[in-house]
Amino acid sequence: MTKIEEKTGVGTAIVRLSVNLAADAMDTLRWLANRRGLSLTETIRRAITVLKFIEDEVDKGNKLAVVETDANGQERVREILLVA
């Protein structure tokens, strides 16, 4: 269940959002926030920004990849496949 309340003021509208998350998803969100010293709200904002970037790149026909470096300094590229 999601609850959304919008507040408008000077500049950007602020939306209050209530979302139900599974315990493991909440644990991950807290871990991410603590790792960077961020609030849960800022962590969610950043996650949305990253997902938007990924979607934009895929829409342009670009591929996403991870470049791994092994102990010898050799690089290996792995493509990231997104499931709809």
The answer to the question of residue 12 being in a domain is: no
Q: How many structural domains does the chain have?
A: 1
Instruction: With respect to residue 69, please indicate whether it lies within any of the assigned structural domains.
Output: yes
The answer to whether residue 61 sits within a structural domain is yes
5 occurs within a structural domain: no
Instruction: Show the domain range for 55.
Output: 23-84
> Which residue is associated with the tokens 């991870």?
66
Q: Is 17:2 a contact under the CB 8 Å cutoff? A: yes
Residue pLDDT, tens place only, 4-47? 666 656 667 888 889 999 999 999 999 999 999 999 999 999 99
Q: In this predicted model, what pLDDT tens digit does every residue of 37-50 receive, in sequence order?
A: 999 999 999 999 99
66 within a domain of the structure (yes/no): yes
pTM: 0.75
Answer whether residue 9 is part of any domain.
Answer: no
Question: For residue 48, is it within any domain?
Answer: yes
